[in-house]
Structure 1
Amino acid sequence: MRRVGLGKSMIYRLISERRFPPPYKISPFASRWSEREIVGWIADVKDGFEGKKRSI
Structure 2
Amino acid sequence: MVFDKTLMPSFLQVTFGGTSLIRCWSLLLKDKEHLWTKTACRLLETVVMKLFTRNG
Query: TM-score band (shorter)?
Result: 0.3 to 0.5
Identify the structure with bigger relative contact order (alpha carbons < 8 Å, sequence gap 6+): 2
Q: Which has the higher helix share?
A: 2
Q: TM-score, normalised by structure 1?
A: 0.40
Q: Which has the higher strand share?
A: 1
* Structure of greater Rg: 2
Q: TM-score, normalised by structure 2?
A: 0.40
